[in-house]
Amino acid sequence: MNVKILKIRYLLLLLGVILIGISSYILFSPIYKIRNVIITGNHRISRNEIIQYMSFNYGEHILSFSINDLEKILTKDPRIAWVDVNRNYPDEISVHIIEEHPVVLLCSESIWGLTEDGKLLPIESPYQIPNIPIISGVEPEIQWKPYDYVESDRIKNGLEFYKFVRRFSPYFLDMISEIYVEDCEDIAVILKKDGLLVHMGDDEYEKRVKRLELMLKELGMDRVDVREIDLRYSSQAVVKLSQNGGSQL
């Protein structure tokens, strides 16, 4: 037999023995047993709740479970939007989650949080109400349940308006207290501080927001006499005054 072939066989055999030895060490060495679980990103969901979802126990081998399966199990919880599980060798598991969070509040017979894709989040106490815009003027809730998705066209329109303003004019978004959606042909907003009502119409929001920002700049900080601003007209805005009952263009 060719000496060169023999050398290759011996090298392959040696390599196989080494790999078997390394694999045996990893599989049976006590240093690869799970001793620590790091959980980050949870606020409303407790550590114990997350631990209960896990398909392993302390002391088991770090390779004894599937990361993908565990991530799927965790994301079935409607409170969790995203999860990332990692093995930190030799003996630690890290779990980072992002919880569902509201981008707006929904005011009907009670207060709900509403995610960007329209999922209803329960607000369990007044202390949990975040300082974000409110969608109001919606029809009374009908069999709404936590973590359902809203089907109301009014609410969807209000949510789309919010996302547009967030993308186009974050400065203006910071000024909004409420997004009023009772009239499908006219989304209106109520501004913070002075409670000024602004009719935005149902289209061309970019043009209308620009016009409003210019008007507010012209009106200045002292807008005590201004009751409403109507931007539904294509070429002008109407300012309605509270004291004189009149209006101006």
Q: Is 134 helix (H, G, I), strand (E, B) or coil?
A: strand
Distance, first Cα to last Cα, the chain: 102
- The whole-model pTM stands at 0.77
Rounded Cα–Cα distance for residues 115 and 86 (Å): 27
From first to last of the 249 residues of the chain, give the pLDDT tens digit.
566 666 666 666 667 666 666 565 556 666 888 999 999 999 889 999 999 988 788 888 888 888 999 999 999 999 999 999 999 988 999 999 999 999 999 987 788 999 999 999 998 776 678 889 999 988 776 678 899 999 888 899 999 999 999 998 888 889 899 999 988 778 999 998 788 899 988 788 888 888 888 888 877 766 778 888 888 887 777 888 876 555 554
pLDDT recorded at residue 204: 82
> Which of 199, 96, 95, 81 lies closest to 147 in space, CA to CA?
81
Q: What is the pLDDT of residue 18?
A: 65
- pLDDT for the residue numbered 186: 85
pLDDT for the residue numbered 2: 65
Residues 95, 74 contacting (CB under 8 angstroms): yes
- Are 81 and 98 a contacting pair, CB within 8 Å? yes
Task: Give residue 112's identity as a one-letter amino acid code.
Answer: W
3-state helix, strand, coil in the chain (%, to 5): 35, 25, 40
Kindly report the backbone phi and psi dihedral angles of residue 91, in degrees, each rounded to the nearest multiple of 5, phi listed first: -145, 20
Chain position carrying tokens 């017979």:
109
pLDDT at 26: 57
- What gap in Å lies between CA 95 and CA 37, rounded to an integer? 7
Residue 93's contacts (CB-CB under 8 Å, 6 or more residues apart) are 34, 36, 37, 38, 54, 56, 62, 85, 86, 87
